[in-house]
Chains A and B, each alone.
Chain A
Amino acid sequence: MYMKKICLIIFSVSLGLIGCDKVDDPYKGIDRPTEPTGPIDTSGAIAFCGFDEYDSELNDTTYNDSTLNIRKVLLEEFTGHLCGFCPPQSKKLVAKSENELNGKVIVMSIHAANFAALVPSKGYTTDFTTPEGNDLQEKYKGGNTAPSLMMNRSNNPASAGQWDQLLDSLNQSGYYNDPVVKFKVRNIYNETIKTGKIDLDIEFLKSFSGIDFAIGVYITEDNILAKQKYYGENPEDVDNYDHRHVIRTAATPTFGASFISGDVALNQKKSASFCYELKEEWNPDKCTVVIFIGNSNNSQIYQAEEVHVTSE
């Protein structure tokens, strides 16, 4: 009986004494988060983009987690609406990405240089150029020889005759099956203010030493109907050509925002959030957020992932 009383007392006292910290004011100091600019490290403060991310009535939330066995490659195709040789190659590339390389590659179209110039007199009035595309053109000059293709920004833009061979050699090398990171991506899009927030959890599946990693977040729009020069078609100027995966904007600098530097351990994790805005004329149901992680020093990309802006 004595032991029972002792135990009951200990149990009761323990309930009261084992620590439990109630935090009324979560912030240290007086600085409060405001509208974010650039990448935000959410290991500490949460990012928000000017809308209520918990409002399921107004927001559309989409997810995409990369698996531990796929390394998606970013394919950037230099093209332009005046490039009459481009459409068949572009169609072939997109078909390959949707079938043979489904889930292994992400395609983005860069409209830049002379082939992207506006010619109002002939009805080429849609401006597909972007500051990011212009930056890429300036660095890689791919628009000069469109159609040309970069894979993870690790090769000089290759002419169309080389694409199959390059992609197949990647496939055979096992490159697609050798992931460097695991992406966990959450996208919240608020249609009211046409603003979205990307939350990234990134886990490194390899260790690195002395590399400055950068994160890039781009927005692409698919199935834009606009005029396109198309050799072999009659007429050659096709009015409602289906432009695929066109770069619209970026939530980061063109070559990415600084993410992590120095030594990275196996399974090290880090999070970041970014905000983006869509223009009124862009169709959010056709927009995709493309994320990549690369090397700041040489701009080469290690791995990419994507998530749709809406669940439509």
Chain B
Amino acid sequence: MHKPKRLLLLPCLFFLTNLIHAQNVLQESAKDPLEVHGNFNVISQYYLTDSVIAAPTVPEKFLMNGYANVIATKGAFSAGARYESYENALLGFDPNYKGSGFPYRYFSFDNKGLSVTVGNFYEQFGTGMLFRSYEERDLGLDNAMDGIRVKYDLGNGVRFKGLVGRQRYFFAKGDGIVRAIDGEVNLNEAFSSWKDNKLKLLVGANFISKYQEDNNPDLVLPENVGAYSGRITARYSDFSITGEYAYKENDPSTDNTNIYKPGQGLFVSASYSQKGFGINLSAKHIDNMSFRSDRTEGFNNLTINYLPALTKQHTYNLAATLYPYATQPTGEIAFQGDIVFRLKKKTWYGGKYGTRILLNGSVAYGLDSTRVNDLNTTRQGYTAKFFSPGKEEYFQDINLTVERKLNKTFKVKAMYMNMMVNNLITRYGGLNGSFGGKIYADIAVLDVMYKIKPKHALRAEFQALWSDQDMGDWGTIVLEYTYSPHWFVAIMDQYNYGNSVEKNQIHYPYGTFGYINGGNRISLGFGRQKAGLFCVGGVCRVVPASNGLSINVTSSF
């Protein structure tokens, strides 16, 4: 049963007493000019019926996502708001994004190291493994906090942050209350004897607690769920290493099928770099680390933390949208390595301008776990060995990129990727349905840039994906012509020529035309877009197939 609930004392309440200094700040800021900045973006699409690619019928025909940010600053003061409009949301975005409103507004001021924000804000502690409030517009993800945040920089490398609030849930707020505190010390600044030390050390710790009412008729749900982490970053000459360990107390939720096992995570990344050479090795252990301010939520909704992906985020279309990998918050062990080196210019092997080579490899496994038969007693569910990969491999990617400028007009980039994605985990389904097993794919890319004459450039992209599973082989061609600085036009065709289902051997042509002038960018696109996944940093959303005319207008000031 519950242990007695303890007194809630928040550090930010103390910091708020510093508001008495605001009068002084106001006087000083009066001398500073008022600056107003902002940006605007609207993406709209007129949808055509296209049963060949299983594009869904859109009753509205026309859908739109749009927003505008306006931020005003005057000296130490800053205030801003964002208007968002989804009439209705573009296909692939959660239908909860519906209507228009001001889901984001804030006011903040700085005063002698104290920074106060009321309203909405984004924040991250360490790697974000326990707390990251952020916005990724293309994913439809926005877990902005709405509450109060206080930061205090005490000087000498000591900094604190405290915050309380609820998270954004589309145009409303989530049920849970999030309370968090973070402290960080730069030891080289804190101790005078360390000031000139070649070893640079930064340590930090944080504690997060969420509150959500227990309304379950059968289970005793912890209303206050605590989690804490410690982190360290060390640099010595060309070496650096960063690590964070996090522990989360019992947090039964829909994600973990209501088990009470604590969660834990460890992230370690080490790197070495010198002129022309760099290496980075990363590893992580994630066990039951889904952390949301509403235990019943799913998808990308109301996530408190962010579990960094240890896979390369590919940018070339086939690799980026067909078989990307999403971090598995319930449990995974992952490793990644990057090696970058540059072959000397004016050598027989490096060419006249030098050559850049990047080798990347990553792998993710399930946990090495053993079930505990306690579902009608303590409900711990299972035990897992720390940092021990299980038998089930989730993902693997080995890729090599070579970039070389051949002469003043030609630049070439070639890439080869060998991937395995376990579709029982990623659960992606295209036109052929959801393939139930491991998908192996080889992908090759040739990207050629030709500078025709000053201001005129032509870029061509040739991509091929070979696979014996799922939808088989794909090919992609992109041609892009740029007339700097204002105009560009591009055409692309993707062709699923190797699909084992003959009727699904489909072309996906798409054309784009655009104009750029200063902070304004207007582009028109027309054609088919295949169904796929769109991922940023291991967080993904499904993008349905579509056909139609899209208009994208961006402006910033």
Measuring CB to CB, which residues of chain A are less than 8 angstroms from any residue of chain B?
Answer: 3-4, 6-7, 10-11, 13-15, 17-29, 31-34, 42-46, 48, 52-56, 61-65, 67-70, 98-100, 102-104, 171, 174, 177-178, 184, 199, 201, 203, 205, 266-267, 269, 271, 308, 311
Contacts and interface: CB of A to CB of B under 8 A. Distances in A.
A25 B378 contact: yes
A283 to B, nearest CB: 16
A67 B207 contact: no
Nearest to A13: B9
Given A14-B10, A69-B56, A23 B2 contact: yes
Nearest to B162: A14
Q: Name the interface size band of chain B.
A: 35 or more
B427 A15 contact: no
Given A65-B427, A69-B56, A171-B51, A18 B217 contact: no
Nearest to B262: A22
A61 B181 contact: no
Contacts of B504: 102
A42 B152 contact: no
Contacts of A22: 3, 222, 249-250
B376 interface: yes
Contacts of B371: 52-55
14 contacts: A17-B8, A20-B224, A20-B225, A23-B2, A25-B378, A26-B260, A44-B218, A46-B257, A68-B92, A68-B95, A99-B503, A102-B501, A174-B49, A271-B254
Contacts of A52: 371, 373
Interface in B1-21: 1-3, 5-11, 14
Contacts of B381: 54
Contact of A23 (B222, B254, B392): B222
B331 to A, nearest CB: 11
A25 to B, nearest CB: 6
B321 to A, nearest CB: 15
A267 B183 CA distance: 38
Contacts of B369: 54, 56
B207 A14 contact: yes
A96 to B, nearest CB: 11
Which 9 residue pairs of A and B lie closest in terms of their CB atoms, listed nearest first? Answer: A20-B226, A19-B224, A54-B371, A69-B56, A174-B57, A177-B56, A21-B222, A32-B376, A44-B218
Contacts of B220: 23, 25-28
Given A21-B225, A266-B95, A103 B56 contact: no
B391 interface: yes
A28 B211 contact: no
A14 B424 contact: no
Contacts of B223: 19, 21
Interface in B180-238: 181, 183, 207, 209, 211, 216-226, 228
Given A10-B11, A67-B542, A269-B296, A54 B216 contact: no
A14 B181 contact: yes
B33 interface: no
A196 B8 CA distance: 45
B382 interface: yes
B433 A102 contact: yes
B56 A42 contact: no
Contacts of B5: 19, 21
Nearest to B2: A21
B437 to A, nearest CB: 6
Nearest to B182: A11
Given A18-B207, A23-B220, A102-B432, A48 B258 contact: no
B209 A311 contact: no
Contact of B429 (A14, A61, A67, A100): A67
Given A19-B5, A28-B217, A205 B95 contact: yes
A95 to B, nearest CB: 11
Given A46-B258, A61-B424, A271-B254, A21 B3 contact: yes
Given A203-B298, A267-B96, 5 more contacts: A7-B158, A20-B249, A45-B258, A46-B379, A311-B436
B433 to A, nearest CB: 5
A108 to B, nearest CB: 17
A266 to B, nearest CB: 7
Nearest to B181: A14
Contact of B424 (A25, A53, A63, A171): A63
Contacts of B377: 32
Interface string B505-531: 000000000000000000000000001
Contact of B1 (A15, A23, A171): A23
B179 interface: yes
A11 B218 contact: no
A266 B171 CA distance: 14
B216 A43 contact: yes
A234 to B, nearest CB: 31
A287 B22 CA distance: 70
A70 B54 contact: yes
B544 A69 contact: yes
Nearest to A18: B209
Contacts of A46: 257-259, 375, 379
A219 to B, nearest CB: 17
Q: Which of B59, B92, B219, B369 has the most CB of A within 10 A?
A: B219
Contacts of B538: none
Given A24-B378, A62-B436, A177-B56, A15 B424 contact: no
B221 to A, nearest CB: 8
A1 B121 CA distance: 29
B91 interface: yes
Interface string B283-303: 000000000000010100000
B228 A44 contact: no
Given A18-B8, A67-B542, A311 B218 contact: no
Contacts of A171: 51
B431 interface: yes
B313 interface: no
Nearest to A54: B371
Contact of B9 (A7, A17, A32): A17
Interface in B80-125: 91-92, 95-96
B427 to A, nearest CB: 5
A42 B257 contact: yes
Interface in B40-81: 49, 51, 54-57, 59
A253 to B, nearest CB: 24
Contacts of A11: 11, 160, 181, 183
B154 interface: yes
B249 A70 contact: no
Nearest to A45: B218
A289 to B, nearest CB: 13
Given A26-B260, A205-B95, A19 B154 contact: no
Contacts of B217: 28, 44
B174 interface: no
Contacts of A203: 298
A103 B54 contact: yes
B382 A54 contact: yes
B390 interface: yes
A168 to B, nearest CB: 10
B317 interface: no
Contact of B252 (A15, A26, A266): A26
Interface string B235-267: 000000000000001101010011110000000
B366 interface: yes
Contact of B392 (A56, A99, A184): A56
Given A11-B181, A99-B503, A21 B379 contact: no
B91 A69 contact: yes
Contacts of A267: 95-96
